Amino acid sequence: MWSEFTEQKRTASFLHQSLQYNRLSHAYLFAGPKGAGKKKMALHFAKAIFCVRQDGDSCGTCKSCRLIEEGNHLDIHRIAVEKNVISIEDVQTLQKKLSYRAAESSHKVYIMEESEKMSREAANSLLKFLEEPPRGVVAILLTSQIHSLLPTILSRCQIVQFQAPSPEQIASQLEAVGMKAGLARTAAAITNDFEQAHALCETESFAQLRSLMIQLSEDIWERGTYALVTLHDKLLKQEKTVERIDLFLDLLLLWFRDILLCLLGQESQVMNIDQVEPLQKQALRISQRRLATGMKIILETKNRLAHYANLQLSLEDMVLRLQEG
């Protein structure tokens, strides 16, 4: 049902109405960040086109809906990227399939994932197809990089924009594929890209960096200048520190935000959900004003490093300023 797409209500409503009022276009371009649910909505749109109800939505139980869900509908054709490119051969094979009469109804639908990865030859071949589409054929192209597509292809498609998924949605998706809740919610808060968040969660160094951030935070509040020892020995001496320092500061900024939430009694909203106890302990020692000042200091350090300031001196200065409050 379209009502299930709570994160993309406007998009779902637009597609629903295009079917309800018989305004089906021959080509759609679903554009938006990875993890926004473009593929899921494309399949639901296809179900709604073929569903026996013919009221603009999908029942999910008729023969057509079940076949699409199982990936066995004869009039649904999907192109997925192989070897990081969609070749002209892929497009030509699709065109040949679509030249045959529909097997199950009067429509044929093709869904092209990551359409920005078409070779130029493939894009030009598809363009000719979009200019003179066979009767009853509906194209659904998916992309997270709309500006990589030929302007002529964009002009032939009804562009449907998808909003970036919320951190809660990304975290839920990560947990659904087996990622630990704490890491999932933390990664989701740092990036609004599901694949990037998933890659972070799968990297052992991300969990290690987060643990180091928590240790440094505790040292800042409890161990005085020993925090500088932790900074030098555990962070600055590590390989690829420069590449990871922006991520480290993002984690530290998120940690301060979570302490503030605990201070306000809003533990259910923290992103480091598996670290509520240490967050609460730190919240007992720190004022709301000092946390706000600390977050400002971290942001200033990020900005300074973005302009090629000295890494060691900038981080030492940050730690000392955080301790002073």
Specify the CATH number for the domain of residue 315: 1.20.272.10
Calculate mean pLDDT across residues 12-26: 91
Co-location of 142 and 220 in the same domain = no
14 within a domain of the structure (yes/no): yes
pLDDT reading at 308 higher than 70? yes
Q: Quick one: pLDDT at residue 234?
A: 86
Same domain, 209 and 149: no
Query: pTM for this one?
Result: 0.67
Judged against a pLDDT cut of 70, whether residue 103 lies above it is answered with: no
Query: Which pLDDT band holds residue 63 (cuts at 50, 70, 90)?
Result: very high
C-alpha atoms less than 13 angstroms from C-alpha of 100 in its C-beta half-sphere: 11
CATH number of domain containing 107 = 3.40.50.300
118 with 254, same domain? no
Instruction: Spell out a b/e string for 225-236, using b for 16 or more CB atoms within 10 Å of the CB, else e.
Output: eebbebbeebbb
Domain count, the chain: 2
Does a structural domain hold residue 191?
A: no
Residues 6+ apart with CB under 8 A from 16: 2, 48, 56, 57
Structure confidence at residue 225 (pLDDT): 82
β-pair type (76-79, 158-161): unpaired
Residue 307 reports pLDDT greater than 90? no
Which region among 97-111, 200-214, 264-278 has the lowest average model confidence (pLDDT)?
97-111
Q: 149 and 48, same structural domain?
A: yes
Domain match, 150 and 225 both:
no
Note whether residue 297 is domain-resident.
yes
Residue 6 confidence (pLDDT) above 60 = yes
What is the domain extent for residue 232?
Answer: 203-324
Is residue 8 in a domain?
A: yes
Domain final residue, candidates 117, 147, 164: 164
Domain assignment present for 178: no
Is there a single domain that holds both residue 157 and residue 8? yes
Give bridge partners of residue 143 from the DSSP assignment: 31
143 and 10 fall within a common domain: yes
CA–CA separation, 196 and 167 (whole Å)? 12
Is residue 154 located within the same domain as residue 260? Answer: no
Segment 17-44 mean pLDDT: 90
Domain C-terminal end among 164, 195, 222: 164
Asked if residue 173 belongs to a domain, the reply is no
Whether 129 and 95 have beta carbons less than 8 Å apart is answered as: yes
Does 196 fall in a domain?
no
Domain boundary at 117, 144, 164, which?
A: 164
Task: Looking at the structure, tell me whether residues 71 and 150 fall in a common domain.
Answer: yes
Establish if 86 belongs to a structural domain.
Answer: yes
Can you tell me the distance from the alpha carbon of 268 to that of 84, in angstroms, rounded to the nearest whole number? 41
Q: Say if residue 70 is in the same domain as residue 218.
A: no
Residue 113 shares a structural domain with residue 213: no
Q: Provide, rounded to the nearest whole percent, the portion of the chain with pLDDT above 90.
A: 58
Instruction: State residue 131's pLDDT score.
Output: 86
> Are 139 and 213 within one domain?
no
